[in-house]
Amino acid sequence: MALIRQEDFISSIHQALQYIACYHAPDFLHAMHQAWQREPSPAARDAIGQILINSYLCANGHRPLCQDTGIVVAFIQVGMSVQWQAELSLQQMVDEGVRLAYMDADNRLRASIVSDPAGKRLNTRDNTPSVVHVEMVPGNTVEIHIAAKGGGSENKSKLAMLEPSDSIVDWVLQVVPEMGAGWCPPGVLGIGIGGTAEKAVLLAKQSLFSAIDIQTLQARGPQTRAEELRLEIYEKVNRLGIGAQGLGGLTTVLDVKILEAPTHATSLPVAIIPNCAATRHVHFTLDGSGPAQLPVPKLEDWPQVALDASTPMRRVNLDTLSKADITDWQPGEKLLLSGKLLTGRDAAHKRIVDLIARGDAMPEGLDFTNRFIYYVGPVDPVGEEIIGPAGPTTATRMDRFTDTMLTRTGLLGMIGKAERGELTVNAIRQHQSVYLIAIGGAAYLISQAIKASRVVAFPELGMEAIYEFTVEDMPVTVAVDSQGHSVHESGPAEWRPRIADIPIFSH
Tell how far CA 202 is from the center of its chain.
19
pLDDT of 312: 80
- Answer whether residue 166 shows pLDDT above 90: yes
pLDDT of 167: 98
Q: Rounded distance, CA 66 to CA 97, Å?
A: 20
Q: What are 415-471's pLDDT values in tens digits? A: 999 999 999 999 999 999 999 999 999 999 999 999 999 999 999 998 899 999 999
The closest of 74, 73, 80, 75 to 4, measured between CA atoms, is: 80
Angle between helices 487-498 and 42-61 (to 10 degrees): 110
Angle between helices 346-358 and 399-408 (to 10 degrees): 50
pLDDT of 463: 85
Q: Rounded distance, CA 166 to CA 269, Å?
A: 11
What H or E segment, with its residue span, contains residue 133? strand 131-137
| 472-497: average pLDDT | 97
- Answer whether residue 310 shows pLDDT above 80: no
Q: What is the DSSP letter of 125?
A: S
What H or E segment, with its residue span, contains residue 474? strand 466-480
Q: What are 356-369's pLDDT values in tens digits? A: 999 999 999 999 99
Task: Answer yes or no: are the C-beta atoms of 405 and 449 closer than 8 Å.
Answer: no
Task: Answer yes or no: are the C-beta atoms of 254 and 31 closer than 8 Å.
Answer: yes
Residue 134, classed as helix, strand or coil, is strand
Q: Residue 69 pairs with which residues in a beta bridge? A: none
Q: What is the DSSP letter of 88?
A: S
| 185-212: average pLDDT | 98
pLDDT of 181: 94
Q: Rounded distance, CA 458 to CA 126, Å?
A: 19
335-373 residues labelled b (16+ CB within 10 A) or e (exposed): bebbbebbbbbbbbbebbbeebeeeeebeeebebebbbb
| 187-200: average pLDDT | 98
Q: Rounded distance, CA 34 to CA 303, Å?
A: 10
pLDDT of 506: 58
Using CA atoms, how far residue 421 sits from 122, 151, 173, 181, 492, in Å, is 28, 19, 20, 12, 16
Q: What are 106-134's pLDDT values in tens digits? A: 999 999 999 999 999 999 999 999 999 99
pLDDT of 462: 86
pLDDT of 306: 86
What H or E segment, with its residue span, contains residue 373? strand 372-374
Q: Rounded distance, CA 375 to CA 402, Å?
A: 12
Q: What is the DSSP letter of 322?
A: -
Dihedral, CA of residue 30, residue 31, residue 34 and residue 36, to nearest 10: -110
- Answer whether residue 507 shows pLDDT above 60: no
Q: Rounded distance, CA 104 to CA 111, Å?
A: 11
Task: Answer yes or no: are the C-beta atoms of 11 and 296 closer than 8 Å.
Answer: no
Strands 114-115 and 122-123 come out as antiparallel
In degrees and rounded to multiples of 5, residue 314 shows phi and psi of -75, 130
Q: Rounded distance, CA 446 to CA 54, Å?
A: 8
Radius of gyration of the chain (CA): 23
Tell how far CA 213 is from the center of its chain.
21
Task: Answer yes or no: are the C-beta atoms of 245 and 417 closer than 8 Å.
Answer: yes
Q: Which residues, including other chains, have CB under 8 Å from residue 354's CB and lie 6 or more apart?
A: none
Mean pLDDT for the chain overall: 96
| 399-424: average pLDDT | 97
Strands 3-5 and 83-85 come out as parallel
Q: What are 334-358's pLDDT values in tens digits? A: 999 999 999 999 999 999 999 999 9
The closest of 234, 231, 229, 230 to 251, measured between CA atoms, is: 234
Q: Rounded distance, CA 189 to CA 211, Å?
A: 12
Residue 217, classed as helix, strand or coil, is helix
- Answer whether residue 503 shows pLDDT above 90: no
Q: What is the DSSP letter of 486?
A: B
Reduce the secondary structure of 148-183 to three states and give it as a string: EECHHHHCCCEEEEECCCCCHHHHHHHHHHHHCCCC
Task: Answer yes or no: are the C-beta atoms of 62 and 105 closer than 8 Å.
Answer: no
Q: What is the DSSP code string of 23-70?
A: ---HHHHHHHHHHHHH---HHHHHHHHHHHHHHHHHHHHT--SSS---
Task: Answer yes or no: are the C-beta atoms of 489 and 478 closer than 8 Å.
Answer: no
Q: What are 6-16's pLDDT values in tens digits? A: 999 999 999 99
pLDDT of 97: 98
pLDDT of 4: 97
Taken in order 226, 230, 235, 240, the sign of the CA dihedral is positive
Q: What percent of the chain has pLDDT over 70?
A: 100
Q: Which residues, including other chains, have CB under 8 Å from residue 424's CB and lie 6 or more apart?
A: 396, 399, 402, 403, 435
